[in-house]
Amino acid sequence: MKDLFEKIYKDKGPLGKWASQAEGYFVFPKLEGEISNRMKFQGKEVITWSINDYLGLANHPEVRKVDAEAAAQYGSAYPMGARMMSGHTDLHEKLQNELASFVNKEAAYLLNFGYQGMVSTIDALVSKDDIIVYDVDAHACIIDGVRLHMGKRFTYKHNDVESLEKNLERASKMAEQTGGGILVISEGVFGMRGEQGRLKEIVALKKKFNFRLFVDDAHGFGTLGATGAGAGEEQGVQDDIDVYFATFAKSLASTGAFIAGDKEIIDYLKYNLRSQMFAKSLQMQLVVGALKRLEMLRTMPELKAKLWENVTALQSGLKARGFDIGTTQSCVTPVYLKGSIPEAMALVKDLRENYGIFCSIVVYPVIPKGLILLRLIPTASHTLDDVNETLAAFEGIRDRLENGTYKRLSAAVMAAMGE
């Protein structure tokens, strides 16, 4: 019999094998200072494009004031216990009601964490007789939720409505045999590529197929739609989303999440979400803070307007300079370059050390081999000077990538890895 840990000693995984070269710099980096457009990285000021603080609320003085007052009043423990037992309050209910109204749904229910809540919601919505059909590029929290499903599941090609329709045909035949139903899952905005889910086209398929639609709108909430209610509002199909999900970790710059839908559905979920039934209630200082953030989202449209001013400047500037930013339809700004993982390391180090630009780097296995994805998240806190400096920096690193500079610099990394 093998030692359980034998595989760990032999294979650290596609990312883990780079740990000795990457940890502390390329992965698990330590940004310092107040959350802002410019922070410190290893003692140097950098323009930060890796913080999901879309509306610039994380360090807003009004938000900081309310957070501090709530912490002083309630501490970090209140309320104790799970919501069903001893952790329920009027303010939890108030936040739920205001969130439901904001996203144009009958009811909403708070979740402690987005990832945990998504996994648990999928688990609660389906039984072993039901079939799940979901986008192949869905976020890890959706994939992990689907893994809990005891029944059948099908993936459709990313944002491919024809592929979705074919899989709905398969799912419909299977549901007739099992006596179950069908749940379709899409993201409102796919956080890596920035593309909106094709919600309008998915909803149109309801005329032909009997399914319910669950949308993860973590990156759309607060950034898309006339009022900021998300991708469904942007595409004119908010009413047709059966279960709407969003997190506080992006536009609301906090911790927590929520689901929203028809009251009867939400009532069912709040009595069947294991991750909420058996977990401590969302602490009060976070609830009070979320109420303030939501109020600002509703009453300060200039925050979203400034965000999109920066998004437009950055994305149009990159395209004008010939960069490939894919088909993003959101604030998420991916920049695709060609190169190996060692070249990516050399490129990012140059970008941080010599140009003062900090953005996320994504490589294989998240994207195909031979590609480097630099992911930028514009926020309302950024300035046009930040944008212009970044555009100039990207022109510089592209030249060095194309003339082989990073390939030469990465030779030492390759040698160290025995590649």
- Give the pLDDT of residue 368: 82
Q: How confident is residue 26, by pLDDT bands cut at 50, 70 and 90?
A: confident
DSSP 248: S
- Give the pLDDT of residue 412: 63
pLDDT, tens digit, 9 for 90 and up, residues 290-323: 999 999 999 999 999 999 999 999 999 999 999 9
Residue 88 has pLDDT above 80, yes or no: yes
- Give the pLDDT of residue 63: 96
Q: Kindly write down the DSSP assignment for every residue of 358-394, as one continuous string.
A: E-EEE-TTTS-TTEEEEEE---TT--HHHHHHHHHHH
Buried b (16+ CB within 10 A) or exposed e, 24-42: eebeebeeeeebbbbbebe
Structure tokens at 83: 């919501």
Residue 342 has pLDDT above 60, yes or no: yes
The average pLDDT across 310-339 equals 96
Sign of CA dihedral 239, 166, 156, 211: positive
Quote the pTM value. 0.93
The average pLDDT across 286-291 equals 97
pLDDT, tens digit, 9 for 90 and up, residues 91-148: 999 999 999 999 999 999 999 999 999 999 999 999 999 999 999 999 999 999 999 9
What number of other Cβ atoms are within 10 A of residue 338's Cβ? Answer: 11
Per the CB < 8 A criterion, the answer to whether 20 and 27 are in contact is no
pLDDT, tens digit, 9 for 90 and up, residues 136-173: 999 999 999 999 999 999 999 999 999 999 999 999 99
DSSP 355: S
Q: How confident is residue 16, by pLDDT bands cut at 50, 70 and 90?
A: confident
- Give the pLDDT of residue 413: 55
Residue 213 has pLDDT above 60, yes or no: yes
> Which domains are seen in the chain, by residue range?
5-54+301-417 (3.90.1150.10), 61-299 (3.40.640.10)
Give dist(CA 261, CA 269) in Å, integer.
10
The average pLDDT across 264-268 equals 97
Q: How confident is residue 410, by pLDDT bands cut at 50, 70 and 90?
A: confident
3-state secondary structure of 77: coil
pLDDT, tens digit, 9 for 90 and up, residues 377-409: 999 999 999 999 999 999 999 999 999 888 888
Residue 62 has pLDDT above 80, yes or no: yes
Which residue type is seen at 205? L
Per the CB < 8 A criterion, the answer to whether 148 and 205 are in contact is no
Give dist(CA 272, CA 22) in Å, integer.
41
- Give the pLDDT of residue 12: 81
Q: How confident is residue 363, by pLDDT bands cut at 50, 70 and 90?
A: confident
Residue 219 has pLDDT above 80, yes or no: yes
- Give the pLDDT of residue 116: 92
What number of other Cβ atoms are within 10 A of residue 71's Cβ? Answer: 16
Give dist(CA 93, CA 169) in Å, integer.
40
What number of other Cβ atoms are within 10 A of residue 91's Cβ? Answer: 17
What does pLDDT average to over the chain? Answer: 93
Greatest alpha-carbon span in the chain: 64
Residue 216 has pLDDT above 90, yes or no: yes
* Whether the bond into 79 is cis, omega within 30 of 0: yes
Per the CB < 8 A criterion, the answer to whether 394 and 323 are in contact is yes
Per the CB < 8 A criterion, the answer to whether 201 and 161 are in contact is yes
Per the CB < 8 A criterion, the answer to whether 183 and 212 are in contact is yes
Q: How confident is residue 414, by pLDDT bands cut at 50, 70 and 90?
A: low
